[in-house]
Amino acid sequence: MKKKLLLVPTLIAVAIIVLPLISLLSKVSWSNLLGDISELNSRRAIWLTIWSSTIATFITLILGLPLAWHLSRSKSKVLKNLRVLVLSPLVLPPTVAGLALIAFMGRNGLVGSYIYELTGWSLPFTSWAVVLTGVFVGLPYMTLICESALRQLPQDVEDAAVIDRVDEFDLFRLVSLPQIRSSIAVGTILSWARAVGEFGATLMFAGSMPGITQTWSMAIYQYLDLEPSVAYSLAATLLIVAVLVVFSVRNSIERAFR
Partner 1 sequence: MRKTTVKVFAASSLTAELSEFQPIYESAHQNTSLSLSFGGSSNLATQIKNGAPADVFISASLEDMQTALNGRKIKVTPYLSNRIVLAVPTYSKINKISDLTSDVIWIQCAHEVPCGNAADRGLAVESIKSMPKSLEPSVASTVAKLLSGSVDAAFIYNTDVMANSDKLRAIQFSDPSRTKVTYFYVTLNISPAIHNLSTHLLSAPFRRILKKAGFGAP
Residues that bind partner 1 (CB under 8 A): 102, 106-108, 122, 124-125, 203-204, 206-210, 213-214, 218, 221-222, 225-226
Residue closer to partner 1 (CB basis): 124 or 140: 124
Task: Rank residues 97 and 204 by Cβ distance to partner 1 and give the closer one.
Answer: 204
Largest CA distance in the chain: 72
CB of residue 90 to partner 1, shortest distance in Å: 24
Nearer CB in complex with partner 1: 106/140:
106
3-state secondary structure the chain: CHHHHHHHHHHHHHHHHHHHHHHHHHCCCHHHHHHHHCCHHHHHHHHHHHHHHHHHHHHHHHHHHHHHHHHHHCCCHHHHHHHHHHHHHHCCCHHHHHHHHHHHHCCCCCCHHHHHHHHCCCCCCCHHHHHHHHHHHHHHHHHHHHHHHHHCCCHHHHHHHHHCCCCHHHHHHHHHHHHCHHHHHHHHHHHHHHHHHCCHHHHHHHCCCCCCCCCHHHHHHHHHHHCHHHHHHHHHHHHHHHHHHHHHCHHHHHHHCC
Q: How far is the CB of 160 from partner 1 (least distance, A)?
A: 54
- For partner 1, the closer of residues 189 and 204 by Cβ is 204
Nearer to partner 1 by Cβ, of 41 and 148: the residue is: 41
Cβ-contact 42, 36 below 8 angstroms:
yes
Min. distance of Cβ 180 from partner 1 in angstroms? 40
Min dist. Cβ of residue 205 to partner 1 (A): 9
Rg (C-alpha) for the chain, rounded Å, is 21
Q: Closer CB to partner 1, residue 126 or residue 148?
A: 126
Nearer to partner 1, 102 or 236 (CB): 102
Q: How far is the CB of 22 from partner 1 (least distance, A)?
A: 19
Helix axis angle, 40-73 to 228-248, nearest 10°: 40
d(CA 128, CA 136): 12
CB of 14 to partner 1, least distance (A): 26
The least distance separating partner 1 from the CB of residue 222, rounded to whole angstroms, comes to 6
